[in-house]
Amino acid sequence: MRRLHLAVTRRLDGLLNGEHLGLLPGPGTELAEARLYQPGEDDVRHMDWAVTARTTNPHVRDLIADHELETWALVDLTPSMDFGTADRTKRDLAAAALAAVGFLTVRLGDRVGAYLQHPAGLRRRPARTGRPALHTLLHDVLTAPTDPPPGRGPGHAAAGLAAALTALDRGQKRRGLRVVISDFLPGPHDDPAAPTWERPLRRLAARHQVLAVEIIDPRELDLPDIGVIDMTDPETGRVHEIVLSRRVRERYATAAAQQRAHIRAALRRAGAHHLTLRTDRDWVADIARFALRQRRAAGRSIAAPGVRA
C-alpha cells in the first residue's frame, strides 16, 4: 500500500497537478475563465460570444469540474489476471491502476467505489472517501482468492465481464467516471470481432465518462523459442503440450495482434477512452502520458516537465 501511494503521490500526482485535472478531464457545471479558442481542439458549444464580440477574437469558457463526485471501478479478478512473466502480475498492475485513479480522487474529497469480478461472482464495495477506505479496497484487490468456491469447477464464472458491466450500469445511475480494468480476453465461445462486453460498455459510456484500462503481459503477444512446453489455461484449467516452433510462434503472434486489434476497435466503437498498461513497462509513465494526451485533446494547459506525451 505504501509503495503504491508513494508512486502515485510522488510521481503521478506531481505530473498531474491541478484540482480535478485527473486522468480524464471532463466538463463540469461552474464557469471558469475565458481563453482563446483553439481550432480543432475546443468544443464550439463552449464559445463565449460576449468575450468574442468584445475582443474580436474567438474565446471559449472552461468549466470547473463538480466536487463531491463518485468514481466507480470494475476490476477483473478472474484467473487470467494472475498471469505475469515480467516485473509483476496483471493483478498487481490492475491494483496499481486502481490506486492511480483512487489516490487522485480521494485527495479532493471525492468517493471511490468498486465492483470486483471474482471467480465466485461479483462483489460490490461501496463508494467511500479517504485514504483508509482506499487502502482497504486495494487490499481486497490484491488478496482476493482466484480459485472458484467448492462445487464449482475450473472456468466457472458466475458473472462475465458483460454481466458485470450491466450490473455497474444499473447499480450506479449518478453520472461520473467509470473505470473498467481488465485484460478483455474473449471467452472460448466469444466472437473476437464482436465481444459480448461491447454492447453493455456502449450503454455505460452513453451516460458516463468511461476509461478502459487494458492490462497486457508481453508473453500474451509473442512466445519465446524454448521448444516443448506445457501450457495451462487459467480460466478452464486445461493443459496442452505445445511445441513452440518458429511457425507456431509466428502464427501465435499474428493471432495475438489480431485479438488486440479487435479489442481496440471494440473499445473505440463503445466510446470508451483506452489506456493500455503492460507488466514490463513503467506504468506511472504510461498513465502520465495518457493523461497528458487527454488534456491536450481537451485543450487544457500542460505543465509536466520530464514526460513526453
In this prediction, residue 237 carries a pLDDT of: 74
What type of residue is 175? R
Name every residue whose Cβ is closer than 8 Å to that of residue 295 and which is 6 or more positions away in sequence: 21, 25, 301, 302
Lookup: cell for 81: 489476471
Q: Is 109 left (phi over 0), alpha (psi -120 to 50) or beta?
A: left
Indicate the pTM of the whole model. Answer: 0.77
Lookup: cell for 288: 502520465
Please choose, from the candidates 134, 182, 143, the residue with its C-alpha nearest in 3D space to the C-alpha of residue 162.
Answer: 182
Please choose, from the candidates 308, 293, 299, 291, the residue with its C-alpha nearest in 3D space to the C-alpha of residue 17.
Answer: 291
Coil, helix or strand at residue 278: strand
Lookup: cell for 48: 463565449
Q: What are phi and psi of 244, to 5 degrees?
A: -85, 70
Q: How far apart are CA 213 and CA 148, in angstroms?
A: 25
CA 105 to chain centre: 15
Residue 227, Cβ density class (10 Å: 0-12 exposed, 13-18 middle, ≥19 buried): exposed
| C-beta of residue 110 within 8 angstroms of C-beta of residue 67 | yes
What is the secondary structure of 78-102 as a DSSP string? SGGGG--SSSS-HHHHHHHHHHHHH
| C-beta of residue 214 within 8 angstroms of C-beta of residue 166 | no
In this prediction, residue 148 carries a pLDDT of: 58
CA 260 to chain centre: 15
pLDDT tens, position by position, for the chain (309 residues)?
Answer: 667 766 666 666 554 544 444 555 554 444 456 778 877 667 777 788 888 898 888 988 765 554 557 899 999 999 889 988 888 999 999 999 999 888 888 877 788 999 999 888 899 999 988 889 999 999 999 998 876 555 444 444 434 899 999 999 999 888 888 999 999 988 777 788 889 999 999 999 998 989 999 999 999 998 888 888 888 777 677 888 888 889 999 999 999 999 999 999 999 999 999 999 999 999 988 988 888 787 776 655 444 444 444
Q: How many residues does the chain have?
A: 309
Coil, helix or strand at residue 192: coil
